[in-house]
Amino acid sequence: MARYVLRRALQSLYAVLMLLLIVFAMTRLTGDPTNQYLPLSASPQARADFAALHGFNDPYYVQFIHYVSDLAHGDFGQSLFKQRPAMEVALEAFPITLTLAFFTMSIALVLSIVLGSLAAMRPNGLFDRMISPLTIFTASAPTFWVALVAIFVFAMMLGWVPTSGMGTPVHWILPVCVLVLTPLGVLTQVVRSSMVSSLSAPYAKTALAKGASDARVVFVHALRNSLLPLITIAGVQATGLVNGAVVIETIFGFPGIGKVMIDSIRDRDFSLTIACILLAAVVVYAMNVAIDIMYARLDPRVQIGGEARR
Amino acid sequence: MLSKTPLLEIDNLVVDFETPGGTFNAVRGISLCLEQGGSHAIIGESGSGKSVTASAIMSLIDSPPGHVCGGDIRFQGRSILSMPRAERRRLYGRHIAMVFQDPAAHLNPVYPVGWQIAEVCRIHGRPAGEAKRSAIALMDRVGIGDAARRYHAFPHQFSGGQRQRIMIAMAMALRPELLIADEPTTALDVTVQAQILELIRELQQENGSALLLITHDLGVAADIARTVSVMRRGEFVEEGTIADVFVAPRHSYTQKLLEARTSSRPQVTTADAEVLLEVKDVSIDYGSVRAVSDVSLQLRHNEVLCVVGESGSGKSTIANAILRLREITSGSICYRGADIHKLGRAELDAYHRAVQAVFQDPFGSLNPRMSVFDIICEPWSIQRSVLPKSEWRQRSVELMESVGLTAGDLGKYPSEFSGGQRQRIAIARALALQSEIIVCDEAVSALDMTVQGQIISLLQEIRARMGVALLFITHDLTLVRNFADRVIVMKAGEIVEQGSTEDVFSNPKHGYTKMLLAACPVPDPVVQQERRNAAKVASGGNQGAHALARGA
Amino acid sequence: MANRLRTRQALGATLLASAVVLGFGAPALAQQNDAITVVQEQEPDTLDPCELTKKNVGMVIRENIVETVTEINQQTGKVDPRLAESWSTIDDTTWRFKLRPGVKFHDGKPLNAAAFIQAFKRMMDPNLSCSNRVLYFEGMGVDLTAVDDLTVDVKTPQPSPIMPVLMSMVGIESPATDAHTLVRNPVGTGPYRLVEWASGRSITTERNPDYWGEKPQVGKVTYVFREEPAVRAAMVANGEADISPVIAPQDATNKDTDHSYLNSETVRLRFDIGKPPLDDIRVREAINYALDRQAMLGTVFSASWQPAKNMVMPTINGYNDAVPFWPYDPDKARALIAEARAAGVPVDNEILLIVNNGSPGGTEAPTVMIEMLKDAGLNVRLQILESAEFYKFFYKPFGDGQPANILFESHDNNSGDAGFTLVGKYASWGGTSKLNDAEVDSEIKRGLAATDPERGEIFRDVFKKVHDMAVDAVLYHQTTDTRIGPRITYTPTAATNQELQISQIQFK
């Protein structure tokens, strides 16, 4: 297992280097940050000085070499706007996003398994007919709109929760609830359809022939098989969340990584953009490894690292 | 037998399926009575309704679309159909158990096999520790070696035969009064099949269970059942003791079934014909595993050469090497004296034209998105020089007719055909380039018995009319007897015996050939009984069977 | 994109506004006694005193934590004392500032000439990217010397008559401030001192008990940050915040809490005056006559904006009220274009209307303007550009071969003096000026060297001159909407765009 993780890490190092090159090229192509950073009335001299100070006049390859050699020394550069080490800014924002993603995915997974399984037990039954349109709605409703409606109803009309902010646990309720809707909708549909096929699989008949109850067939025999597609899709959803739920972070004033990344792109704060992307790449790598390991745990036929489970 | 109440009574059972095309009457009023400890076989081809009958007993009919709409099923006098669900659940697994056809699919892939066996005991109220102990004992009893350790292994880590043993262990865990076995040995190699049947018989005797066997294989039925019902289109067309039905079949369908197995073949002499294909000392490695070792064979013009062996014997590997789908490690394969690995581009094209293939899976080998016309014309569109496009239609109609299909079928898609028809299409495609050799790799193994017979007749006819040579690869010895000119028997990558069909069958020299012949059930209960006893002696009795099973 | 954004905002505004109207605004978090919460658009990047002219920084620290040397009076446009008690000229190039005695920094150090000089030198250090220097002092060569403990002489190579105005941009921080990096913990002399900056969440300040001036009413301030304007408006309505200095115009629906004020920004169309057909004054006049400035208010621009005739607000020194508004006269516009065409001016040449993506008015405003110009007989095409591309047209050096264009721009001057505006927009050396007129240049130079009242007179003349030349089409003074909760009173001014003096806030 450890060898597998290490090998995947080495493989992803190459991917990260390529990513770095692409991102670096792209951030440089979007234009000189001088105009963005300095006020409109700054003199041409001030502009030139600023560009020279930050090396924006050097050829791109020189800038890249400087950057990579700094990286090799653990220096991710200075955030141009915040005047602080870029990685420090990114790392400060990250735990918030991770916490948000963790709660959201936990709730979405538990609920989607329960709802999807119940819907799959009687395909086209009453519950299924009720759940399917709902999941399609929550999976496709624009988050921005849902967030504002939620603030209107739960913060302003009912006064149950504050509009925004992240001071107390109560502050987390609304953003997590809004954020959970999309993955919940998507995952419930995944659970439902894979449960339907698992329940009609031959091994489900075997279980019935053993005298197993419906609940046992659903939650013991079919569920474990249905978790495989669920994990795949949940991984995609979680990756999206970890890379920042920008809209939610912006509306509710959660200073997460998504907001930092979007702001840094808008401000052409190169070092910060790249620091965020590197961090995201590491997390995506870790999640992929975790998903692979989970896959192997759930399905004995899956091998990781070329080591068959005997 | 104190009780007069039969163990199982099926009373005028009717099962319908709602399909988009209307109601399909799967079972049309069959009745059956099975005494305690009895063994009964329902014989029929796929679609005859025999498996639906078994599903009805187990309440496993998918509803919708299927539903029982008439009759009754009684177990020990109580109606299963009108029982509350909870009560029915107490019956299944404990008093009535079932062994399914395809153990690979019927075992849950994500749980250890031991857990799955123990689950039966736990569902019916045994404590977990006791359930585990009896699961290990059961695994040991059905011949899974090192049971305590293998308890934790998963289904995919077992062979097909072992998986069926596990299914049987699961079914027999609580010594049920009734065991239903639905095609328990289909898709297993012939020697494994014999072992599994033996195991079922032993366990049935040990536990005093009654057996209801569902099969399409007359040999299997003859091997294990005392009474038989022949089912066709949802009805029993003939019933009786196995001896009566096999010796003196009254219904024409039963007669036809029996004939399909015993028809004789036209004799063609090919001994001195030109050698088309010569395989010399060929070895093939899969990584570090030697799949084929020093195999040599010759295929002559217009000859039917059958290669027989169980899975893993290397017979399909040889076929793939001849088709150049797999590289050989050493040796040579010559076509009309020229090494096929040293051919120029034009010669290679000619070789690919001359050697065509028909594969086992008629579902997988035809592109579902291409019409039959496109499928048949595909070789011509690849080898442009063969036939001008203006003649494609004419020629494809001829080919379709020569394999017993019509010109009207050309516009259809593979999904609109049955398995046998698809195999006819595959044969038509193989004939499109006026090939000299057709390699048939388990070409009829997936088909029903009567359809098998039809396809074999077709191949014989084509051989006689078009003068092609057939390299026929199969695991089923009974097919070979009436069809092949020469037989090659392979085991573990080596040829153990070869010779004319007559010689091999009447005077087998190698022990393995003898065992294959003995293991193959014959649709004659008396003969089968004798052969079974002979096989037991030959392999050293039960223990020998278990030893074999461990290797299976 | 801009379109969708506006729709979104409009939707949010409607929802949240109706909540207020329906009286659902029950306070979720009751504020205790003398503490208030301010909800801002964006969290500041630093809190460094040398960045206090940057909006996000200034809103928190300017005149609250760090005080400036002088201060612009928003009512009169004059310069008031702050940390400097008085000032006077010694000679043409030297100003003498006398500091207020008895003032202490939050760390207990005294305010004196040395502290002033150190803070100024820190700001001028080219290794620190202080926006105060970049904006106002770059290349000026200012030299400060202490005369006594509270007196500083400020000497410049050239006469600098507006030095007292410039000193309103200079904050003085404690001499203990790190000289090498921009700081996040400013120590100044102001009525409030920093308690905590929980990065990403909030900034907290409290009343400075040792403040030299009048004791303000508010005891504690929490600054929070929400980018979404509908949420900021909702927070004040819900009682979670007491003031949101900036809300969206479409959210400003409650007369009791929402106030709009001139924010010192002015928008105009800049003409590419050197390129035909815009080199012809008849064409430039025609454009001014063709624009129906009144009709665009409340439709494509915010209804609270005010039509403008100078590029600065009325309170700015140099504003010329005698300049007439351009009337809407489409017939005259058509006639002028016809006349120019007859005189051989290539009026059919295509002119680009360059608009920065995301500027006020979205795509609708420029589209409407183009229709008006087409009606006059001009051939104008809309070009909406991302910032990086927009700046290539906006800033000098203007690339060779840029097509004749009209550029929609926004300009901000709350310094109290029109000098910056005139240089930037009309002098031949101005960074965003297309005009190259010797007479205007020399007038601007003369004005910059002069002191009031002569200075104001000269600037007024320049405004009149560029109006008569139809150098541009000055359009509107922009306004900002602010929402102030029921607990407090505060009167927003143009300075509210740059600072929020907590000491001006009172409880009801």
CA distances from C53 to B155, C144, C223, C381, C498 (A): 72, 21, 18, 37, 7
Which tokens hold the place of A298?
A: 């759930």
Number of domains in chain C: 3
| Contact between chains at C139 and A46 (C-beta distance less than 8 A) | yes
Identify whether residues C120 and C217 lie together within a single domain: no
Helix ranges, A166-222 (H): 169-199, 202-209, 214-216
Which tokens hold the place of C244?
A: 């949101």
Contact A173, A166 (CB under 8 A): no
Q: Tell me which residue in A49, A93, A157 faces C19 most closely, judged by beta carbons.
A: A157
Residue B544 maps to a domain: no
The percent of chain A in helix, strand and coil, each rounded to the nearest 5, is 75, 0, 25
Residue recorded with tokens 């996003």: A97
User: What CATH number does domain A87-308 carry, 1.10.260.40, 3.40.50.140, 1.10.8.100, 1.10.3720.10?
Assistant: 1.10.3720.10
C94-99 and C151-155: which strand pairing? antiparallel
Residue B371 maps to a domain: yes
Q: In whole angstroms, what is the distance from residue B436 CA to residue B300 CA? A: 10
Of A216-230, B267-281, C391-405, C441-455, the one with minimum mean pLDDT is B267-281
Distance from CA of A65 to the nearest CA of B (A): 45
The domain boundary, picked from C137, C169, C201, lies at: C169
For residue C259, how many other CB atoms are within 10 A of its CB? 19
Distance from CA of A199 to the nearest CA of C (A): 44
Q: In whole angstroms, what is the distance from residue C115 CA to residue C150 CA? A: 10
Question: Average pLDDT of B274-290?
Answer: 85
Q: For B350-369, what is each residue's pLDDT tens digit?
A: 888 888 888 877 667 788 78
* Chains sharing 3 or more CB pairs under 8 A with chain C: A
Distance from CA of A212 to the nearest CA of B (A): 6
Q: Is the pLDDT of residue A286 over 70?
A: yes
Calculate ∠ Cα B448-B449-B451, nearest 5°. 70
Q: Is the pLDDT of residue B285 over 60?
A: yes
> Do chains B and C touch by CB distance (3+ pairs < 8 Å)?
no
Q: Does B110 touch chain A (CB under 8 A)?
A: yes
Burial pattern B352-385, b for ≥16 Cβ within 10 A else e, equals bbbbbbbbbbbeebbeeeebbbebbbebbeeeee
Size of interface A-C (CB pairs under 8 A): 142
Residue B490 pairs in a beta bridge with: B495
Q: Which of B91, B63, B69, B97 is nearest to B78 (CA)?
A: B91
Q: Tell me which residue in A205, A224, A309 faces B60 most closely, judged by beta carbons.
A: A205
Distance from CA of C369 to the nearest CA of A (A): 24
| Contact between chains at B105 and A201 (C-beta distance less than 8 A) | yes
Q: Which of B394, B382, B317 is nearest to B353 (CA)?
A: B382
Contact C477, C265 (CB under 8 A): yes
| Contact between chains at A209 and B108 (C-beta distance less than 8 A) | no
Q: Specify the CATH number for the domain of residue C201.
A: 3.40.190.10
Q: Does C29 touch chain A (CB under 8 A)?
A: yes
The percent of chain B in helix, strand and coil, each rounded to the nearest 5, is 45, 25, 35
| Contact between chains at B62 and A200 (C-beta distance less than 8 A) | yes
Identify whether residues B326 and B215 lie together within a single domain: no
Q: Does B94 touch chain A (CB under 8 A)?
A: yes
For residue A146, how many other CB atoms are within 10 A of its CB? 19
Q: Which of C187, C304, C212 is nearest to C249 (CA)?
A: C304
The gap between the terminal CA atoms of chain C, to the nearest Å, is 42
Contact B294, B282 (CB under 8 A): yes
| Contact between chains at A42 and C138 (C-beta distance less than 8 A) | yes
Q: Specify the CATH number for the domain of residue C266.
A: 3.10.105.10
Residues 176-215 of C with CB under 8 A from A: 181-182, 184, 199-201
| Contact between chains at A212 and B109 (C-beta distance less than 8 A) | no
| Contact between chains at C45 and A81 (C-beta distance less than 8 A) | yes
B chain contacts of residue A208, beta-carbon cutoff 8 Å: 58-60, 92
Q: In whole angstroms, what is the distance from residue B504 CA to residue C478 CA? A: 104
Suggest the residue from A156, A252, A254, A276 to mutate for an interface test with chain C (most C CBs closer than 10 A): A156
* Chains sharing 3 or more CB pairs under 8 A with chain A: B, C
Distance from CA of A114 to the nearest CA of B (A): 20
Give residue B264's pLDDT band: very low, low, confident or very high (50, 70, 90): very low
Q: Does C28 touch chain A (CB under 8 A)?
A: yes
Size (chain A), residues: 310
Q: Tell me which residue in A45, A161, A259 faces C139 most closely, judged by beta carbons.
A: A45
Identify whether residues C252 and C268 lie together within a single domain: no
For residue B397, how many other CB atoms are within 10 A of its CB? 18
User: So what's the pLDDT on residue B33?
Assistant: 86
More confident residue, C7 or B183: B183
* Chains sharing 3 or more CB pairs under 8 A with chain B: A
Identify whether residues B280 and B245 lie together within a single domain: no
Q: Does C229 touch chain A (CB under 8 A)?
A: no
CA distances from A1 to A254, A293, A308, C213 (A): 36, 9, 11, 68
Residue B529 maps to a domain: no
Identify whether residues B346 and B430 lie together within a single domain: yes
The domain boundary, picked from C169, C203, C222, lies at: C169
Distance from CA of B164 to the nearest CA of A (A): 13
The domain boundary, picked from C102, C134, C169, lies at: C169
The full set of domain ranges for chain A reads 87-308
Contact A81, A38 (CB under 8 A): no
Identify whether residues C318 and C197 lie together within a single domain: no
> Do chains B and A touch by CB distance (3+ pairs < 8 Å)?
yes
Q: For B298-313, what is each residue's pLDDT tens digit?
A: 888 888 889 988 877 8
Distance from CA of A253 to the nearest CA of C (A): 5
Q: Specify the CATH number for the domain of residue B499.
A: 3.40.50.300
Identify whether residues C444 and C341 lie together within a single domain: yes
What amino acid occupies position A235? G
User: So what's the pLDDT on residue B413?
Assistant: 82
Query: Range of C73's domain?
Result: 62-169
Residues 98-137 of C with CB under 8 A from A: 126-127, 129, 131, 134-135
Q: For A63-75, what is each residue's pLDDT tens digit?
A: 888 877 887 777 7
| Contact between chains at C432 and A253 (C-beta distance less than 8 A) | no
Q: Which of C257, C195, C199 is nearest to C483 (CA)?
A: C257
Q: In whole angstroms, what is the distance from residue C283 CA to residue A272 CA? A: 47
Q: Tell me which residue in C184, C199, C420 faces A41 most closely, judged by beta carbons.
A: C420
Q: Does B154 touch chain A (CB under 8 A)?
A: yes
Q: Is B102 exposed, middle or buried (0-12, 13-18, 19+ CB in 10 A)?
A: middle
Residue C112 maps to a domain: yes
Residue recorded with tokens 């493989």: A11
Question: Average pLDDT of B220-237?
Answer: 85
Identify whether residues B234 and B295 lie together within a single domain: no
User: So what's the pLDDT on residue C232?
Assistant: 92
Q: Tell me which residue in C134, C182, C240 faces A83 most closely, judged by beta carbons.
A: C182
Q: Crossing angle, helix B419-431 and helix B392-402, to 10 degrees?
A: 130
Suggest the residue from B75, B119, B212 to mutate for an interface test with chain A (most A CBs closer than 10 A): B119
| Contact between chains at B92 and A211 (C-beta distance less than 8 A) | yes
CA distances from A248 to A177, C175, C356 (A): 11, 42, 27
Q: pLDDT > 70: what percent of chain A?
A: 91
Distance from CA of A202 to the nearest CA of B (A): 5
Identify whether residues C442 and C358 lie together within a single domain: yes
Give residue A14's pLDDT band: very low, low, confident or very high (50, 70, 90): confident
Identify whether residues C137 and C245 lie together within a single domain: no
Residue B121 maps to a domain: yes
- Which residues, including other chains, have CB under 8 Å from residue B106's CB and lie 6 or more apart? A202, A203, A205, A206, B100, B167
Q: Is the pLDDT of residue B552 over 60?
A: no
Identify whether residues B293 and B165 lie together within a single domain: no
Residue recorded with tokens 């150049």: B324
A chain contacts of residue C264, beta-carbon cutoff 8 Å: none
Give residue B1's pLDDT band: very low, low, confident or very high (50, 70, 90): very low
Q: Does B90 touch chain A (CB under 8 A)?
A: yes
Contact B45, B253 (CB under 8 A): no
Q: Is B543 exposed, middle or buried (0-12, 13-18, 19+ CB in 10 A)?
A: exposed
Which tokens hold the place of A194?
A: 């894979």
Residue B538 maps to a domain: no
Q: Crossing angle, helix B541-551 and helix B525-538, to 10 degrees?
A: 80
Identify whether residues B376 and B355 lie together within a single domain: yes
Identify whether residues C254 and C274 lie together within a single domain: no
Contact C409, C267 (CB under 8 A): yes
pTM: 0.70
Q: What is the 3-state secondary structure (H, E, C) of B283-336?
A: EEEECCEEEEEEEEEEEECCCEEEEECCCCCCHHHHHHHHCCCCCCCEEEEEEC
Distance from CA of C336 to the nearest CA of A (A): 34
Q: In whole angstroms, what is the distance from residue C405 CA to residue B351 CA? A: 73
Q: Which of A27-36, A98-107, B184-193 has the highest mean pLDDT?
A: A98-107
Residue C244 pairs in a beta bridge with: C483
Distance, CA of B11 to chain centre: 31
Burial pattern B294-314, b for ≥16 Cβ within 10 A else e, equals ebebebbbbbbbbbbbbeebb
Identify whether residues B282 and B201 lie together within a single domain: no
CA distances from B141 to B168, B173, B212, C482 (A): 10, 11, 22, 85
Of A172-176, B378-382, B485-489, the one with minimum mean pLDDT is B378-382
Distance from CA of B215 to the nearest CA of A (A): 18
Identify whether residues C202 and C79 lie together within a single domain: no
Identify whether residues B474 and B502 lie together within a single domain: yes
| Contact between chains at A36 and C387 (C-beta distance less than 8 A) | yes
Q: Is B263 exposed, middle or buried (0-12, 13-18, 19+ CB in 10 A)?
A: exposed
Residue B454 zone, left/alpha/beta (φ > 0; ψ -120 to 50; rest): alpha
| Contact between chains at A38 and C134 (C-beta distance less than 8 A) | yes
Identify whether residues B297 and B178 lie together within a single domain: no
Q: For A189-203, what is each residue's pLDDT tens digit?
A: 999 988 888 888 888
Q: In whole angstroms, what is the distance from residue C483 CA to residue C490 CA? A: 10
Does residue C186 have a cis peptide bond before it, meaning omega lies within 30 degrees of 0? Answer: no
Identify whether residues C191 and C271 lie together within a single domain: no
Identify whether residues B351 and B468 lie together within a single domain: yes
Alpha carbons within 13 A on the beta-carbon side of B47: 9
More confident residue, B272 or A121: A121
Residue B461 maps to a domain: yes
More confident residue, A301 or B52: B52
| Contact between chains at C387 and A92 (C-beta distance less than 8 A) | no
A chain contacts of residue B106, beta-carbon cutoff 8 Å: 202-203, 205-206
Contact C373, C380 (CB under 8 A): yes
| Contact between chains at C230 and A148 (C-beta distance less than 8 A) | yes
Number of domains in chain B: 2
Query: Range of B319's domain?
Result: 275-519
Identify whether residues C330 and C352 lie together within a single domain: yes
A chain contacts of residue B119, beta-carbon cutoff 8 Å: 207, 210, 212
Q: Is C33 exposed, middle or buried (0-12, 13-18, 19+ CB in 10 A)?
A: exposed
Contact C418, C313 (CB under 8 A): no
Residue B527 maps to a domain: no
Helix (H, G, I), strand (E, B) or coil at C329: coil
Q: Which of C322, C321, C370 is nearest to C350 (CA)?
A: C370
C chain contacts of residue A168, beta-carbon cutoff 8 Å: none
Helix (H, G, I), strand (E, B) or coil at B71: strand
Identify whether residues B297 and B385 lie together within a single domain: yes
Residue B535 maps to a domain: no
Provide φ and ψ at A78, rounded to 5°: -105, 135
Q: Which of B174-178, B396-400, C337-341 has the highest mean pLDDT?
A: C337-341
Question: Average pLDDT of A130-149?
Answer: 87
Q: For B12-68, what is each residue's pLDDT tens digit?
A: 888 888 777 777 788 888 888 888 888 898 988 777 888 888 888 888 887 767 788
What is the block-wise mean pLDDT of chain C (508 residues), using blocks of 10 residues? 44 46 41 84 89 90 95 84 94 93 94 94 86 81 92 91 89 92 91 91 93 93 91 91 91 89 91 92 95 92 91 91 94 94 92 90 91 93 86 82 91 85 91 91 91 90 95 94 93 86 92
For residue B495, how many other CB atoms are within 10 A of its CB? 22
| Contact between chains at A31 and C387 (C-beta distance less than 8 A) | yes
